[in-house]
Structures are given as C-alpha cells and as structure tokens.
Amino acid sequence: MRESFFEQIIINQQNLVAYATDTATNEILYMTQAAATLYGFEDVQETYGKKCYELIQGLDTVCPFCTNSKLTTGQPYQWEHYNEKLQMWFDITDLLVPFEGKNCRLEIARDITALKEKFDRVSNRLTVEETLVDCIQTLSSETDVNTAVNHFLEIIGHFYAADRAYIFEYEKDHIKNTFEWCAPGILYQMEFLQKVPIEYVSEWNYKFELDGEFFITSLDNDLAMDSPEYRILKDQGIESLAVAPLRKNGQIIGFLGVDNPRESTYDLTLLRSVSSFVLEEMERRRLIRDLERFSYTDLLTGLQNRNSYIKMLDRLSNQTLQSLGVIYVDINGMKKINDNNGHEYGDRVIKKVADTLKSRVGCEAYRVGGDEFTVLCVDIDEQDFHLLTEKLIRDFDKNKEYDVSIGHTWREGNVSVDEEILKADDLMYAEKQRYYHAILQGDRIVRAGIATELLKDISNHRFEVYYQPQICLKTGHIIGGEALVRKRNQQGKLILPDHFIPNYERERVIRHLDLLVFQTVCADLQKWKSQGIEPHISSNFSRVTLMASDIVTQIKQICQEYGVPSEKITIEVTENISKLEPKQLVKLMNQIVAEGFSVSLDDFGSKYSNLSILTTLEFSEIKFDKSLVDKLSSDARSRIVMKNTMQICRELPMTHSLAEGIETAEQLDLLHQYDCDYGQGYYFAKPMSSEAFFELLKKEQMHGTPVLVQPDQCDDLKI
Ligand code: C2E
Ligand code: MG
Ligand code: MG
C-alpha cells in the first residue's frame, strides 16, 4: 500500500504519459492523469474501456503501427512516433505485462516534439545550404535566362513543397509576374498577373522594409477578407505564402515567393539568401540581352538593323523554305530631303517609313541601309504576301511628305534567298529609274516598272534562244554554237537583242534574262544529248549578272538540274567586266573556272579594247569582234592588229581564238593565214532556231564531213 501511494505521487508529479491496454480487445485498462488530461479527460475513469486506437490516435480501426505483436514479456520495446491527433512527437516504451489473467500493453510516452523540431531545424539547415548551392549552380550554368530562372524556381518550389514559386517585378504603377514554376496539377497564373495594381501589395512593402521576408500562415487569419490583396490571393487558391523582397541598391524592385508551402515553413533563410543571387543573375542576363538587342537594333527607327539582317540571311540559307516573300523599300531622293530640310527632318522621314513598315510587318522588317529597308516574309502564302504588299504600297501612297520605290517578289519551293533579294532589289531599282525619269519629265510616278514587264514577258515565254554555229577553221566541223536571245513581240515578230538588252542592263534587271537563256541552253543540251549529240555552247552573261555573289552557285545548280557537265559550256563576258572590283573579278573568274566552265572574252577589239585585261585574267577563248573582221580585207592596219593579237593568243597558254562576224571567203582566207582557231559568222550560218541547229548538227554527224564549209576552205582538207 505504502509503495503504491508513493508511486502514484511520483507518477503524477512527473506528468508521466502512460496507459495500459488489453492486447486482446485494445481496451484501455489504465491511464495516468497526465495522459487523460492530454486527451481531454478530467477523470481518468472515463477513459477506461475505450478503444486505444480511437482515444489515443483518433483512428476507427486498429493502428497499422500497433506494437502488440512485437512485444515479449520482460523485453521493453522502444520507438518514436508522431501522433497525428495531437500533432506531437513521442518517445515511447512498450512493455508486455500480465494483469488479472490478461496480457496487457503498458505504454509509457515522453513528449519529444520540441526536441524533434530543433533537430529538424539543424538537419534542414544543411539542406538549405545544399539547395542554395544547387540554385546558384543552376543560375550560373544555364545560358538562357528563362530556363535558368525557371529551373531555379523549381528547386525553391520543391524545397518548400509549395504549389507555386514565382518572381514579381515592380513596374511604374503595377507589379508584373515575370517568372513562374508550378507543381504538377497547379494552374499557371502568370498570364493573368501581368498588370496587378501596386496598391494590392502596398502592405507588403512595409513588411519587407520591417522584416525582410515574411510568411502569411493563413490567409483567413492574417488578412482582412475585404482587402483586394485577400481577394486576388484567394482567387488563385492560395491559403498561405512566403515571400522575400528583391532589392537593387537598397530599393525593393520585386519579390520572390512560394504559394502554399508545406515544408520548412519556419525557415525562410533559403528564400532570403537566393533572392540576392537571382536578382544579380537576372540583371546580368538582362544587360547581356540588352547589349545584344542594341547591336541588332537600329537606334533611330527601332527596326532590326543590318547586323540582324545578315544574321537572318545566314539562318535562312541553312533552312529549307516553303516560300519566301521579299519587299525592298527605298526612300526616293533622300539626299535631297536632307539637303533641303536638314538631317533632323530627314531622320523623321526615315522614322515614318519605319513606322509604316512596323505597323504592317513588325519584326520582319530591317533597315539595311540609310534609306533602304527590307522585309523578309518566310513561309508566307502568296495571296497573303500580295495583300500585304498592296497594303504597304497604299500606306506609302497616302503619304505626301516623301515617296518610296518598292520592289517585291514571292516564290515557293527550293527558294534561293540571295536570288529573291536581288530580284526584289532589281525591281525596286527599276522602279527608282521611273522615279528619276518622272523627275526629269516632271511626270507622275508610275509604279509598273520595266522589271515587272520583263518578269511578265519571261513567264509568258516571250523569249526564244537561237544558236549560231561555231566552226573549227582547221577541220571545218561545227564545234558548237553561241546562244543568242530573241524576243517575240505581240505581233509575233522576232526582236533582236540590241533592242532590249541595253535597256535591261541599264535597269539592272538583265540577270533574269541571262539566267533564263542559260537554263534554256541546259535544257536543249540535255535534250540533244539524249539523241547522241553533244555540242559545246557559249552563253552570254552581262557584267550586271555576274555581280551577284551567288551567280556561280546558281549556274552550277542549273547545270546539275539538267545533268549537263559544265565542260560543255562557255560563259561569254565582255571587256567591261574589268569594271568590277579587281579582287571580286579574280575571285569570280577562279570560281567559274574551278566549276569547270570555260570563259570567253567577247567583242575583243571593239571600241577601246584594253590589252591589260589579258595580263590579269586567264580566258579560255578570245572572240575577235566583227568590227575587226570587217576591216580585214580593206584595211592593212586592221590586218596587222589581227595578225599580232592572234599571235599573242597562241602564246597564251590555254587560250584559243575565235573570229566573229565572218561574212566573206576573203576574210576566212586571211584568218586561216593568221592561224585563227575558230570562226562564227553569216558566211557559215546565221543564228537559227534550236530545232534547225539540232538538225544541222545531226546532219554533220551523219555525213561525217563539214556541212557548212567548202572542202577547199579547210586547212586539214587542203593538206
Ligand atoms: P555578241 O555576243 O557579240 O553576239 C554576236 C552578234 O553578232 C549576234 O547578234 C550575231 O547574230 C551577230 N553576228 C554573228 N555573225 C554575224 C555576221 O556575219 N554578220 C552580222 N551582221 N552579224 C553577225 P545578235 O544575236 O543580235 O546579238 C547581239 C548582242 O546581244 C550579242 O552580241 C550579245 O552581246 C547580246 N546578247 C545576245 N544574247 C544575249 C544574252 O542571252 N545575254 C546577254 N547579256 N547578251 C546577249
Ligand atoms: Mg557573245
Ligand atoms: Mg561578240
């Protein structure tokens, strides 16, 4: 009795939480007063007979972690457990004891909640540091700022077991959600939070100043329900949140936060520590981005500049395009505008042109020169593109202050970007000629340029390619021919090239025609080859055509398309090619030769021929002009010139001679004497249709003897 009295006092004094249950029925047989009080009973007797899982753990059935089966007499069983009902940690010792013939579990528990939290905090602090390192690594290793910050937010979100992690930045009178990470199943809110009035978070600034970061544990308890802040948070399903300010030079410029954090909520160290890192990193990236943006932006107009344009061309050249629309815009008489009204006014005009472009095409427009603009529309529908150009032309037309010249092209499938841009440029340039012409005539500006007409004529198959045979003067055999273009007018009459080529050259649109002729030559060669005839053909190229940087690639591509070996083709250039920039000229010649084409110097000896071209460039053929041949029989001086230049030709390695415009037997005789290699002229044959030329070649092949030359006029036959 004495013992039980004192023992009872000791037990009560120590506030010992202990109870005994029947292991067979799980009914409570005994409980200390401290335990009963903890579970809300004043009188311990009231707890007796109740099921332990209901009273102690708040469960409906036997606890899944029940220790009954683990107990053996005389061996205490010790374990730790978190009691969900009480939200407390216990250190528990269970004993199996016999009582009134029953097996009883005596459980003695010690509240260790405070200890646990302290331990958790210590162990958590380690993870804070680890997470911090993780965040910093993420921010510094990712090159793209968006990826870096989003990944960083994900780490923060995971750390706090939050629904959402985000960054808000302050703008003038509102705050803006600039980055967001969401846990699976949580809806993104960023797009709805782009212009939140700054008043909504005015309280927050105060708290930031006061405490730095802060934690709203319960929206309902911590905020007034009628506050706008409460509404906007509640609407997003937020019950609690933790936020830390982002400061720049001491000034709060935004905040970093997590919604509904469930773990480590008592420790906002991570949030505080990372906020300074993320801000620095964001600033650094923005600086780089701005610098990059400036180097690609034209500061006067805000359009993309030439750098950006070149970068874009580079990108497009590595891309397969479905279609491409190009618009070239050039302000007419910019110099005059500047001279008459000053540069400030001139700048305003440039800006206005840019604004018009911006309003219609935005980021596809580039300022590529002082008063030149290009629009590149990638993979655009033809109709959409034409609608766009029409609108632009209308916009520009409305303007009375200035005038622009516009060129535009659209093409689909296997598009060469360079080619399209040049075409648009040519068209614009052609239109500009109209402008100059209009100024001279005091006339209205007419928009339909010569280039448009040429392209229309090309698509209407107005052009035909004739061939004039070229003869080997030694054997009399036809070695091939020169391709000469003709145009059929509305009445069906053939027009000779001298009537239209100079015009196209002046207007810088000749390349379209040269390429058309070249393509026709390749198509004819392919056709003839299939019938066993493989002549060598010369095709004329204007200097303007050869100015395009990608011309060699283009002609090579055309050859490949028709399966024609480049060795079968000679490119005829005239002496005025030497007007090209010397470096460019040498590069061009090397490229042409490297691709296997021959190059012939046409019209040599006409006007003021300059022999020096022969010292710098290596031609495979020199074509003596008709004017020299004409004078052979009548003018002794011409004979001397011809004889000696032929001699030069012979001495130049790899170069042979061809005389054009041979009309008489006398001329031919003299050319024989001067050892001229090849000849071309009405004496042999006039230029003829491709069908007639093919028949001629076939005939000669069948006969095996020359068909255009009398036997006594060939050196070989004379011998
Ligand atoms: P070219 O390249 O010097 O061509 C020779 C011109 O002389 C041709 O005139 C030819 O018909 C003419 N011809 C040849 N033999 C005789 C002859 O015995 N007597 C006379 N009176 N004339 C003769 P065509 O076909 O009128 O071509 C004139 C020029 O047009 C060519 O001179 C060439 O510079 C240019 N041309 C022709 N086709 C093209 C082309 O596709 N592209 C370019 N850029 N120019 C071309
Ligand atoms: Mg020629
Ligand atoms: Mg010629």
Pocket test for ligand 1, best of 462, 467, 484, 511 (most atoms within 8 A of CB): 484
How far away, in angstroms, is 623 Cα from ligand 3 center?
7
pLDDT over 80 at 581, yes or no: no
Is residue 200 within 8 Å of residue 193, measured between CB atoms? no
pLDDT tens, residue by residue, 277-335: 788 777 777 777 777 777 888 989 999 998 889 889 888 888 888 899 999 999 988 88
Burial class (CB in 10 A: 0-12, 13-18, 19+), 434: buried
Sign of the C-alpha dihedral, residues 435, 439, 440, 445?
positive
Q: Which residue, judged by its Cα, is nearest atom 19 of ligand 1?
A: 661
So what's the pLDDT on residue 689?
97
Res 648: pLDDT:
87
> From the CA of 658, which ligand is nearest?
3
For residue 456, report the distance from its CA to the centre of ligand 3, in Å: 28
Nearest-atom index, ligand 1, CA of 539: 41
> Ligand 3 mean position to 109 CA, how many Å?
113
* Ligand in closest contact with the CA of 629: 1
Mean pLDDT score, 50-64: 91
From the CA of 574, give the closest atom in ligand 1. Answer: 34
In the reported structure, the alpha carbon of residue 572 is separated from the centroid of ligand 2 by a whole-number distance in angstroms of 6
Q: What is the mean pLDDT of the chain?
A: 86
Whose atoms come closest to the Cα of 471: which ligand?
A: 1
Return the pLDDT at 447: 33
Residues with Cβ within 8 Å of 671's Cβ and at least 6 positions away in sequence, in order, are: 473, 629, 632, 642, 659, 662, 679
Rounded to the nearest angstrom, the distance between the alpha carbon of 604 and the centre of ligand 2 is: 10
Nearest listed ligand to the Cα of residue 605: 3
Q: Quote the pLDDT of residue 332.
A: 87
Q: What is the mean pLDDT of residues 85-95?
A: 89
Lowest mean pLDDT among 40-44, 85-89, 192-196, 502-506: 502-506
State the Cα–Cα distance between residues 343 and 371, nearest whole angstrom: 12
Q: What pLDDT does 719 receive?
A: 45
pLDDT of residue 437: 56
What is the b/e burial string over 600-620, where b = at least 16 CB atoms within 10 angstroms of the residue's CB?
bbbbbbeeebeeebbeebebb
Distance 636 CA to ligand 2 centre (A): 26
Atom of ligand 1 nearest to the CA of 663: 18
Q: What is the reported pLDDT for 445?
A: 38
Residue nearest to atom 43 of ligand 1 (CA): 540
- The rounded Å distance from CA 543 to ligand 2 centre is 13
Cα of 486 vs centre of ligand 1, distance in Å, is 10
Ligand 1: lining residues by beta carbon, under 6 Å: 468, 484-485, 496-498, 501, 510, 514, 517, 540-542, 572, 602-603, 626, 660-661, 663, 680-682, 687
Q: What is the residue with the minimal CA distance to atom 33 of ligand 1? A: 540
Confidence of residue 527 (pLDDT cuts 50, 70, 90): very high
Are β-strands 102-111 and 17-22 bridged in parallel, bridged antiparallel, or unpaired?
antiparallel
Ligand 2 centroid distance, CA of 684 (Å): 16
Atom 37 of ligand 1, residue of closest alpha carbon = 484
pLDDT band at residue 517 using 50, 70 and 90 as cut-offs: very high
- The residue nearest atom 38 of ligand 1, judged by CA position, is 484
Q: What confidence score (pLDDT) does residue 444 get?
A: 38
Pocket test of ligand 1: the residue of 501, 633, 678, 693 to mutate, having most ligand atoms within 8 Å of its CB, is: 501
Residue 572 or 506, more confident: 572
Residue 633 has a pLDDT of: 87
Supply the pLDDT for residue 430. 64
Report how far ligand 2's centroid is from the alpha carbon of 573 (Å): 7
Which ligand 1 atom lies nearest to the CA of residue 680? 15
DSSP 597: -
pLDDT of 449 strictly over 60: no
Is 240 a residue whose pLDDT tops 80? Answer: yes
605 C-alpha vs ligand 3 centroid, how far in Å?
10
pLDDT tens sequence across 488-510:
998 999 999 999 998 888 767 78
Q: Is the pLDDT of residue 605 over 70?
A: yes
Task: Compute, in angstroms, the gap from residue 647 CA to the centroid of ligand 1.
Answer: 25
* Ligand found nearest the CA of 465: 1
Position 136 scores a pLDDT of: 79
Among the bound ligands, the one closest to the CA of 484:
1
579 residue type, one letter: K
Atom of ligand 1 nearest to the CA of 572: 2
What is the distance in A from the centroid of ligand 1 to the CA of 484? 6
Q: How far apart, in whole angstroms, are the C-alpha atoms of residue 554 and residue 514?
A: 12
Distance 560 CA to ligand 3 centre (A): 27
pLDDT at 440 over 60: no
pLDDT at 267 over 80: no
pLDDT in tens, 11-42: 776 778 899 999 999 999 999 998 999 999 99
Is residue 609 very low, low, confident or very high in pLDDT (cuts 50, 70, 90)?
Answer: low
Nearest to 700 by CA among 477, 471, 470, 475: 477
Average pLDDT over residues 169-198: 89
The pLDDT of residue 493 is: 93
* 424-428, 468-472, 544-548, 711-715: the lowest-pLDDT one: 711-715
CA-to-CA distance for 316 and 379, rounded, in angstroms? 11
Task: Choose which residue among 540, 545, 572, 632 to substitute to test ligand 1 binding: the one with the highest number of ligand atoms within 8 A of its C-beta.
Answer: 540
Give 324's strand partners: 378, 411
Cα 629 to middle of ligand 2, angstroms? 15
The closest alpha carbon to 132, from 28, 250, 269, belongs to 269
Q: Look at 39-53, 265-279, 315-329 and tell me which has the smallest mean pLDDT.
A: 265-279
For residue 518, give the ligand 1 atom closest to its CA: 41
Q: Residue type for 8, please?
A: Q
Mean pLDDT of 216-231: 85
Model confidence over 147-167: pLDDT tens digits? 888 888 998 998 888 999 999
Helices (H), 548-581: 551-562
pLDDT digits (tens, 9 = 90+) for 316-325: 888 888 899 9
Q: What residue's CA is closest to ligand 1, atom 23?
A: 661
Protein residue with its CA nearest to atom 7 in ligand 1: 661
**Ligand number nearest to the C-alpha of 543:** 1
Q: Which is nearest to 482 in space by CA: 679, 238, 262, 282? A: 679
Percent of the chain with pLDDT over 70: 93
Please name the residue whose Cα sits nearest to atom 11 of ligand 1.
Answer: 687
- Give the pLDDT confidence of 340-378 residue by residue, as tens digits: 888 999 999 999 999 999 999 877 899 998 899 999 999
Residue with the nearest Cα to atom 27 of ligand 1?
Answer: 497
Atom of ligand 1 minimally distant from the CA of 545: 44
Instruction: Using a cut of 0.95, tell me whether the model's pTM lies above it.
Output: no
Span 263-279, average pLDDT: 80
Nearest ligand (C-alpha, residue 572): 2
**547 vs 557, which has greater pLDDT?**
557
Pick the ligand that lies closest to the CA of residue 467: 1
**Confidence (pLDDT) at 448:** 38
Q: Report, as an integer, the average pLDDT of 578-591.
A: 79
What secondary structure letter does DSSP report for 297?
Answer: B
Integer Cα distance of 584 and 443 in angstroms: 39
Ligand 2 center from residue 660 Cα (angstroms): 9
